[in-house]
Each structure stands twice: as C-alpha cells, then as structure tokens.
Structure 1
C-alpha cells in the first residue's frame, strides 16, 4: 500500500522522473494545486478487492496528521506517533521518523510519483458528469511491493478523485475521495494522543 492522502510540501515534477508529456503535465498541475493547501480534512472510501468497502478519515496540517481507518487511529504531532487500536483499547507510542513512516504517513501520495515510478497517460473518462484524466504509475523499483498505481484526476480542478494500487502479490486496493475540505482550522493538540480521553487505555511505549 502507498501513502493514503496528500502532501503540501511539493516540488515541481522531478526532471529525472520518467513519464510522457501529458501525464507529467497532469501530475504537475495536481502538485501545484495541493502545494497551496496548508491544512485539510478528507473523508474517503477504501476497497480491498474481494472485500466490503470501508470508510476512512484524515486530517493533515503541515507535517502533522491524524488518520482513522481499519479499526485504528493514528496520531502524529510531528515528533511522536501514537497508534490507537480500538478493539483492544491499546496505544503504541514511537518516535516519528519521516523517512521510515511509509504507509502510515498520509502526506505522500502526491509526491509518490516523483521517485521509483514511470508515468503514462491512459485515457479520459466521464463519471458522475465529471471528466477524469487517468494516469498510470508503473513501479521501476524491483524491491517494491507495488506493481502500479492508477490515479484519476478531475480535469477541471486537478484534484484527485481516486487511486487504485496494484500490488505484486495480486492484491488491489482502491481509494476514493468522498469529501475534501482545504485549509481547515485545527489546533496542534488535535494531532497529539491524549490518554485521558481513552479511559483504561493500555500504553505500550516502543521508544
């Protein structure tokens, strides 16, 4: 699985990245759009092939994020990452390492294409009265678990409508953005886990 949602510290499309002209233009426009956003809240649906759709929610502010999905809630205040597991009322604490956060960091989907992928424009399609541009990213990293990613971008405003991840083991996961609110007003303490709000929680400190 790739990162779940967006990033705002974005650079123009990497000149070393591989891709045809049209896909590069689409990805650049998408990156430019999200670069201007300082914070956001997003609701999304994710579907693993063969399973029922599930709902997720993410709030991001700079390097801070709070992500709720798959029975877990992840708090990241930029320094400490806390993963709360509702079923067991347990929270795991660990130092946040941006380089090692991988799938748990919802601030990378919009820069995932910059390294380790070759992009190509696939087609334009109509869905719910909107024109969507489909771009396919094929992994160039032999060690990656991801084979390719298909991203659907709204042609009118260059926002991401959905993306589908094809893993080398045959698993497919689709993420669809249901609601996106830019520049939300959210306090920094919203991203820090507060044990007082979870009575009886078991704290596992992995630092």
Structure 2
C-alpha cells in the first residue's frame, strides 16, 4: 500500500514519441509550469473519483504483477479500495479494513510526517526533494501525454527517477512511472477519472455497525 503512494517504480510501453529539445533553464521552467497546472486543476474540483491500474515488474526477480483499485478524494479525505483492503481517512483518523482477517485498524494521520503518504498527496508529492525536467511527449489511447521527469535530490534515495505522464488537453495525471535503482519498475495508470460527483454523506466515515464481527485494533 505504501509503495503505491510513494510511487516506487514503473514500466510502460512507449508509443511513437518525440523528444523535447530545449535548454536546461527553459526546460525546468516548462516542467514547473506544467506541474503547477496539474495541481491547480486538481484543487479546483470538489471531489475526484479515480479508477486505476497498478503494475509492478522486476525481470531479475521474476516479478510481474497487476492489480486494480479505486479511490475517492475530497479535500484531505479519501476512501481507497485496493488489493482487497479498504482505507478510509475522515480527516483525523485512518481506518484500514481487512475483510480477509475480519479486522479494522484505527490509526492517527500525521501530516507533518514525511513518510506518511496518502492518496491525495499524489498531486503534490513532487513539490519537495526532486529536480524536474521535461521528458518525452507521446500519443497514448487518443491522448497526448507529456512526461515530466523527477530525479531525487538525495543520493540515498532508492528511486532512480519518476515520470509523471500528463494529459496536455485536460492537465490531468494520466500515469506515474517510477524506476528503482534495483531495477524494479512500477506503473500507476488512471483508467477512469470523474470529478464533482454526488457522494453519500458517510462516504468518508467509518460505520462500525457494518463490521459487527470484526476485531477493532486501535494502533495509536
């Protein structure tokens, strides 16, 4: 779960691309302008409903896995379903629901903890700790995707680079591609994106009555 939101690696098939050829200063400015547009667009929505695909690959370790998930975002609240697990953040506490174990873990969320990742940080995680530049532009499924490459500033970072694919027409994130220094590649691709939806009042509320036989574990 943590790997998904720290965006730990990725592989993606490239289709007929064009290299962006600009000088370093203009390149950096162009990348920053594009990322700022993405953040501004995300903040303009009342809420976001995202279906995504997640793939992880490492040829040396013979790892090739894919899975799907959904996430609802509203402000700093979220409702995530991924790999059979549901996580609900009501703005104060995180509720991790594991049906297989019939267990719910309740924990606090510390916004000041740099290692505490959450789905809504997918739009802002790149603000600190990275150098960024424009990368390739390519057509994908009828969209024009411009990639921005993030290079970690810290030499001890286990990530080699991260590519953020941005739909140039909508300024929405299309995918996130990360390459780890250990050869692991992970792809997070948005398969469906809806916004300003009518949501249930308790969409971001943990309703204990729905899990009568579950063990409630209070981690904090």
Bin for the TM-score computed over the shorter chain: 0.7 to 0.9
Aligned to 2:166: 153
Partner of residue 42 from structure 1, selected from 45, 50, 64: 50
Alignment TM-score, normalising by the size of structure 1: 0.85
Aligned to 2:72: 59
Quote the Cα distance in structure 1 between the aligned partners of 2:124 and 2:117. Answer: 15
Aligned to 2:153: 140
Aligned to 2:99: 86
Quote the Cα distance in structure 1 between the aligned partners of 2:146 and 2:80. Answer: 27
Aligned to 1:185: 198
Say how many residue pairs are matched.
194
Matches within 5 A, 1:119-134: 119-134=132-147
Q: Which runs of 5+ in 1 are unaligned?
A: 6-18
What does the per-residue CA deviation read over 1:31-77, in whole Å, with 9 as the maximum and x for residues that have no partner? 22112112111100000113232001101111111111122111110
User: Could you tell me whether the CA contact under 8 Å between 1:89 and 1:202 is conserved in 2?
Assistant: yes
Alignment TM-score, normalising by the size of structure 2: 0.81
CA RMSD of aligned residues (A): 2.0
Displacement after TM superposition at 1:3 (Å): 2.6
Quote the Cα distance in structure 2 between the aligned partners of 1:119 and 1:140. Answer: 10
Change (3 A) 1:115 1:58: same
- The question of 1:202 aligning with 2:215 is answered yes
Q: Which runs of 5+ in 2 are unaligned?
A: 8-26, 58-62
